[in-house]
Structure 1
Amino acid sequence: MITPKLTIVGAGPGDADLITIKAIKTLNEANVVLYDALVNPDLLDHVNPNAELIFVGKRRGCYRYQQEQINELIVARGKSHGHVVRLKGGDPFVFGRGAEEMEYAAENGLQVAMVPGISSSLAVPAYQNIPLTKRGSSESFWVITGTTKHHKLSDDVALAAKSSATVVILMGMGKLSQIVQLFQTEGKNELPVAIIQDGTTTREKIGIGTVDTIEVIVEEKQLSNPAIIILGDVVKHRNKILEIQQEVLVKSE
């Protein structure tokens, strides 16, 4: 007897090794897996070999299915096949619309479960030795979407620019000029900024500058989506580590 079920699974930020053991076990138990464009293809090696794999796109410029179609597909496959796994990049509850898909499935009679993933908002800066909090530099951090459902810059960015917290902006490259202007308005022209494209993958690219210089650096390095913007004094930690390592190397010679 088929038991319709949806499990939302976080695939992590890009490096296939950053998926959790529980997520791998869940993929191995799936009857159907719906996966997004930002999911590392290597993770599909962990899927039950008898499961149906369905690529549903979902990234800027790549919309194989609209969200409503994905919701309906989850319910239809759940009722016809049983256990549907929705494999989504990062953590699906951090700007991943996982909550919406879970609600729709539950309203249509599916059992629902969630396997958290490592969010790119945490892991991508960490891979470049950028902590989001550091004693003496930052006591908190904001994680904000750069583009709301109305395709506008979130009002929270203006609020965050007034704080002393580290600010992490996802999906914000198209609004970079607006973001820069908000921080300049607050007199934070020299605030360090890092932009990391394709973080934790072999395609990773990074640009480091300040609020005043970052747009020029983005153009020089040809940085684009998918990328994460980090604004705050914690960005300095990356260069400090490089300097310490260089000093140790020189002394050892």
Structure 2
Amino acid sequence: MAEHPAYPVGLRLTGRRVVVLGGGQVAQRRLPALIAAGADILLVSPEATPSVEAMAEAGEITWERRPYADGDLADAWYALIATSDPEANTQASAEAEAHRVWCVRSDNADAATAWTPATGYSEGVTVAVLTSRAKGRDPRHTAAIRDAVVEGLRDGTLVAPHHRTRTPGVALVGGGPGDPDLITVRGRRLLAEADVVIADRLGPRDLLAELPPHVEVIDAAKIPYGRFMAQEAINNALIEHAKQGKSVVRLKGGDPYVFGRGMEELQALAEAGIPCTVVPGISSSISVPGAAGIPVTHRGVAHEFTVVSGHVAPDDERSLVDWASLAGLTGTLVILMGVDKIGRIAETLVAHGKPADTPVALVQEGTTAAQRRVDATLATVAETVRTQDVKPPAVIVIGEVVTVGGQAPAPARPQPPE
């Protein structure tokens, strides 16, 4: 008979019976999507992998611990046959045909009535790639196409225009510690779709060069403040552009809520009736030490780590940090925005009992091509910062974890052409 291409379709399985035969690796890979689709899943298998068993224990699927038996597919809308018994697979496939149940077979795709496409997801869009004919099926090639499309949608290199009006609003996007590769895929996609980007100087600047020419990029440090405080001026800029019907991204370094004043911006937008979404980012408090070879926790060395803002000195009446209590902790202390105050911070910690020989590492421009690490102790860190000319932005790590891995080389990143 002439071979016809497969007909692609999306199954709406919410509340409908799906039978899965076999609890091995195939079921482990396929079950999460069936669960996400809201299917009423019956698993029939004498055994299951630990992950599949955990799904049953969580009540996400119903598991009958036995081999396949005739009649198991009678009430099913869809079946996945993936046992290690070829005879059972053949019998189940025949039952599916008799009951007109669409059936996928892991052992023999040609004998199945349905095929599972290579699928991926990107912000409400399902990408499904299917080889149209049985002859010459190449699952790896199909998966590679799927991956290329999904990656392009996620990182913004593949942009499909919206043909329906988008809801204007603001996205507070955490850009990560500096390396443009360390922004989240959602953050990168929102950047690619933005009309206006209001960026901090500590955000991943390299990403701005990739934006389409029509995108308006505003340096938050250069917004005219007039009679407003800096933060109030930024809030007003976000509100004004959003009210013009534009999609606005507030690109911030690290995470919006880790010393990023993200909540202040969210509250201002909420008061103005502007919809806002928050996209978390990788905080420099853990990523920059990691890039420099320093684990903030390590078995037998540190069971906790504390992240502190050092933008005001310990003796400043505005300080909210209990430095005396921090001095008594045995774990890791990570200080952000503290380069110019580190001398007074070190003196305070030592005065409250922290050993003066406690190791200290300062990681400047972490995760970027300019990254460098300078080591000291609490007793020497103030002089080291002066003699080594350590400048912000730098993350300061205090504790024994500094000596766990030794010095790590700065990340090798290709330089852009001049």
The structure 2 residue matched to 1:217, chosen from 378, 384, 398, is: 384
The residue identity in structure 2 corresponding to 1:93 is Y
Secondary structure of the structure 2 residue equivalent to 1:114: strand
Give 2:58's aligned residue. none
Kindly indicate whether residue 362 of structure 2 is the aligned counterpart of residue 176 of structure 1: no
Structure 1 position 108, deviation (Å)? 0.3
Which has the larger displacement, 41-50 or 122-131? Answer: 41-50
Give 2:323's aligned residue. 157
Give 2:360's aligned residue. 193
Distance 1:157 1:63, change over 3 A: farther
Structure 1 position 152, deviation (Å)? 4.7
Within 5 Å, give how 1:8-157 maps onto structure 2: 8-57=172-221, 65=225, 66-148=230-312, 152-157=318-323
Structure 1 position 151, deviation (Å)? 8.3
Structure 1 position 170, deviation (Å)? 0.5
Q: Is the 8 A contact 2:289 2:296 kept in 1?
A: yes
Distance 1:239 1:51, change over 3 A: same
Give 2:132's aligned residue. none
Distance 1:229 1:203 in 2: 16
Which has the larger displacement, 175-184 or 42-51? Answer: 42-51
Question: What is the identity percentage for the equivalent residue pairs of Structure 1 and Structure 2?
Answer: 39
Give the number of aligned pairs.
238
Q: CA RMSD in A?
A: 2.2
Q: Is the 8 A contact 1:92 1:98 kept in 2?
A: yes
1:193-225 Cα distance to aligned partner (Å, 9 max, x none): 001111111222221121112222222211121
Secondary structure of the structure 2 residue equivalent to 1:238: coil
Structure 1 position 153, deviation (Å)? 4.5
Distance 2:361 2:302 in 1: 15
Distance 1:194 1:241, change over 3 A: closer
Q: Is the 8 A contact 1:9 1:88 kept in 2?
A: yes
Q: Is the 8 A contact 1:199 1:227 kept in 2?
A: yes
The residue identity in structure 1 corresponding to 2:345 is I
Q: Is the 8 A contact 2:359 2:399 kept in 1?
A: yes
1:103-136 Cα distance to aligned partner (Å, 9 max, x none): 1001101111011111111111000110000111
Distance 1:5 1:100 in 2: 16
Secondary structure of the structure 2 residue equivalent to 1:159: helix
Q: Is the 8 A contact 1:144 1:154 kept in 2?
A: no
Unpaired runs of 5+ residues, structure 1, are 243-253
Secondary structure of the structure 1 residue equivalent to 2:369: coil
Q: Is the 8 A contact 1:128 1:238 kept in 2?
A: no
After TM superposition, what 4+ stretches of structure 1 lie above 6 angstroms from structure 2? none
Distance 1:187 1:91 in 2: 30
Q: Is the 8 A contact 1:31 1:81 kept in 2?
A: no
1:67-114 Cα distance to aligned partner (Å, 9 max, x none): 111101100000013221100011111000111101100110111101
Distance 1:221 1:240, change over 3 A: closer
Kindly indicate whether residue 372 of structure 2 is the aligned counterpart of residue 205 of structure 1: yes
The residue identity in structure 2 corresponding to 1:184 is V
Q: Is the 8 A contact 2:173 2:252 kept in 1?
A: yes
Q: Is the 8 A contact 1:27 1:46 kept in 2?
A: no
The structure that is helix-richer by fraction is: 1
The residue identity in structure 1 corresponding to 2:322 is D
Distance 2:373 2:203 in 1: 20
Q: Is the 8 A contact 1:10 1:90 kept in 2?
A: yes
Q: Is the 8 A contact 2:197 2:217 kept in 1?
A: yes
Q: Is the 8 A contact 1:2 1:79 kept in 2?
A: no
| TM-score, reference length from structure 1 | 0.87
Structure 1 position 236, deviation (Å)? 0.6
Q: Is the 8 A contact 1:33 1:86 kept in 2?
A: yes
Q: Which has the higher contact order (CA 8 A, sep 6+)?
A: 1
Structure 1 position 2, deviation (Å)? 6.9
| TM-score, reference length from structure 2 | 0.54
Q: Is the 8 A contact 2:306 2:334 kept in 1?
A: yes
